Chain A
């Protein structure tokens, strides 16, 4: 008995030796006295248990010893994976397609390898709520603002050469699954003149769009009921839909291969300094400069402050939360500081329907003047359908539940009257996502806020952010690294219009 005892004591001491002191301490915090008692207890009378125990202990010891050998990556402390660095040049908040596109372009434009240290902070690595992966994946050129048309053209060009931009050596080439199908907009009597104007703007910008009469529409797409349609515009090239996941992952993979640091955690606060400046009229304004970003690690109380020179706000639908942390929107009513970032989440439903006799391979991304849209999904007779609700009936945004009544009441009737084959269809599934909705004019906000010295914005794209992400990323990188726009002049999408309350509306036919 005494020999057994001695052996056990030896094992204990050996165990104690190899277990680092720090780890013991860490455990002690967790288990308190209980752990201590266990550590101090000596042999047990029950032999069977004892042998099992010994075996397990020896195995653990061996493992620990081999782990601690030089050359392995073991360290006495469990270091939280993905903990952000303490310092970075640029912190991008939001790892959606915008965030990663900006990260890629920053790296693409840096002059020396490793010239800028870029960190992308994403709170939800599974992207369960990110708009990017919940979108319909469409790209079109049929906008009315030249800025948007140019953004689309540049992005389509990027996607055409995506493997030259985002291909990684020795990895599979990227297949966006880009469906080369045009958007077909249908216009009623009242809005036909807007469509004509838009058409000339689009042609002038270089987009390949054609106008069709109702007869031509009927000829091309016999399954459309053209009642009430007086004009249609149809994209010939650079329009269609693609897989948003693939684009997001391609940006991410390339950016990481170029040295961008990704970390999961939520930005919950900023540390900033405030400078009080006087305007010409003698009013005092507070100018803020962010010093560090507080990144809260997921599922723990741990956090890490990241000191940085520049912050990029690419948090999509929730980007106004970040500006609120900086006091934007909390100032006196009629001052600049009193105007909040006009971006809020708006829930949009997408329904997947099955209709075996529906339109075939040439089915366009159809957008009716009633607001209903649909497109083909795969080749098996599936389609995705949706519609934006009226301002007055905006659904609650606290969750992503789908309202199926909305389909019955609002979507299906309009859809079936436009495309009669859809009178017979079966809803197979549905999902909801948040638009990063700009309440002022439903267009992107790109640039800097006059009151925050070092925060750049790329948000508020309200339903066309995915398709513009490649070009917007490039423009934001130019703004940061070159100081102004180089390739596309997007100054019209800056903060001036927000603060002056002069919306830059898309002249939609919807």
Chain B
């Protein structure tokens, strides 16, 4: 039995030689290939460089977002955590309202804002509007000290994901209104994290593209947060589809 295997191994080596020889022979064909072939050939030879460039592109974008969401430790040390939070919000083109005041501070379209907010030292924030900003999990750390935050609006935030929702427990004693509608990265698995926000009175989960079987999810949310009024528009609640998805869930559970 051993002998055949040995010769088998030997021919493995030899076949490699054979293949190499054949390649050489084939490359000696005369006419140059057409332009698009040459272009493709060039690109494949540069495959790793192109790949590198593309990944650099996405890395740069990510780093930009990360930088905007950096921890405002320096501001915090100098001005306290409330001003740092306010400054962070305005830098991201968001808006907020201090506790006991009616005036909103907002950044304009070009990101310019009124520096008057610095006058209110040690006043916590009550309402924060971060809609359509790039706030992410790390950036949320800048709002960690806000124990009086009652309203938070995160409508259409591209970086808000399930992990972000899980971190919202930092406002568990105060938060009453939360808007997470139109956030593309939120899924059903993340909504379970809202269980910690027992004081929630109003929740907007409209038009979340990452949610399968929205009808069932809304019912479960209502069960989980009985005091809370849940707004869920923008879903196609046609019965047929709903049923299909439910059985799908079922099957998944069975697995």
Contacts and interface: CB of A to CB of B under 8 A. Distances in A.
Contacts of A236: 166, 169, 172, 196
Contact of B166 (A169, A175, A238, A428): A238
Contact of B162 (A75, A79, A178, A379): A178
A180 B163 CA distance: 7
A261 B188 CA distance: 36
Interface string B181-200: 00000011111110110100
A330 B42 CA distance: 59
Interface string B126-166: 00000000000100000000000000000000000011011
Given A361-B191, A362-B192, A75 B223 contact: no
Contacts of B254: 352, 382, 428-429
B223 A360 contact: yes
Interface string B1-42: 100110110011001001100110110000000000000000
Contact of B15 (A75, A178, A208, A302): A75
B116 interface: no
A180 B190 contact: yes
Interface in A189-232: 208, 220
Contact of B253 (A70, A208, A354): A354
A79 B22 CA distance: 17
Interface stretch (B68-76, B79-87, B88-96, B214-222): B214-222
Given A164-B62, A180-B166, A169 B220 contact: no
Given A70-B22, A178-B189, A360-B220, A169 B55 contact: yes
A361 B12 contact: no
B48 A113 contact: yes
A352 B253 contact: yes
Interface in A346-383: 352, 354, 360-362, 377-382
A380 B137 contact: no
A317 B193 CA distance: 34
A238 B193 CA distance: 10
B193 A180 contact: yes
Nearest to B28: A70
A237 interface: yes
A237 B246 contact: no
Contacts of B246: 380
A179 B7 CA distance: 55
Contact of A181 (B4, B169, B192, B220): B192
B249 interface: yes
Interface residues of B, number: 50
B202 interface: no
Contact of A377 (B191, B196, B253): B253
Interface residues of A, number: 41
A29 B217 CA distance: 64
B103 interface: no
A22 interface: yes
- In this complex, which of A113, A180, A240 has the most chain B Cβ atoms within 10 angstroms of its Cβ? A180
Given A180-B193, A361-B195, A379 B188 contact: yes
A34 interface: no
B252 A361 contact: no
Nearest to A175: B187
A274 interface: no
A187 B254 CA distance: 31
- In this complex, which of B22, B62, B166, B223 has the most chain A Cβ atoms within 10 angstroms of its Cβ? B166
Nearest to A28: B4
B250 interface: yes
B15 A70 contact: no
A79 B12 contact: yes
Contacts of B5: 301-302
Interface in B51-67: 51, 54-55, 62
Given A360-B223, A377-B253, A76 B18 contact: yes
A386 B33 CA distance: 65
Given A22-B11, A237-B169, A361 B253 contact: no
B217 A379 contact: yes
A208 B191 CA distance: 18
A77 interface: yes
Contacts of A377: 253
Contacts of A381: 253
B253 A179 contact: no
Contacts of B55: 169
A208 B169 contact: yes
Nearest to A73: B19
A160 interface: yes
A71 interface: yes
B224 interface: yes
Interface in A15-70: 22, 25-26, 29, 70
A79 B250 CA distance: 44
B224 A379 contact: no
A397 interface: no
A204 B41 CA distance: 57
Contacts of A428: 253-254
A507 to B, nearest CB: 26
A75 B19 contact: yes
Contacts of B216: 379
B201 interface: no
B16 to A, nearest CB: 9
A224 B36 CA distance: 69
A382 B8 CA distance: 54
Contacts of B18: 75-76
B163 A160 contact: yes
Given A208-B169, A379-B217, A361 B192 contact: yes
B213 to A, nearest CB: 7
Interface string A61-95: 00000000011000111010000000000000000
Given A113-B48, A352-B254, A382-B250, 6 more contacts: A77-B12, A180-B166, A181-B192, A208-B169, A362-B192, A381-B253
5 closest pairs, A vs B, by CB?
A382-B253, A70-B26, A362-B195, A180-B193, A180-B166
Interface of B: 1, 4-5, 7-8, 11-12, 15, 18-19, 22-23, 25-26, 48, 51, 54-55, 62, 137, 162-163, 165-167, 169, 172, 187-193, 195-196, 198, 213, 216-217, 220-221, 223-224, 246, 249-250, 252-254
28 contacts: A26-B4, A26-B8, A29-B4, A79-B15, A113-B48, A164-B62, A169-B54, A179-B192, A180-B162, A180-B190, A180-B192, A180-B193, A181-B192, A181-B195, A220-B198, A237-B166, A240-B166, A301-B1, A354-B253, A360-B224, A361-B217, A377-B253, A378-B249, A378-B253, A379-B213, A380-B253, A381-B253, A382-B253
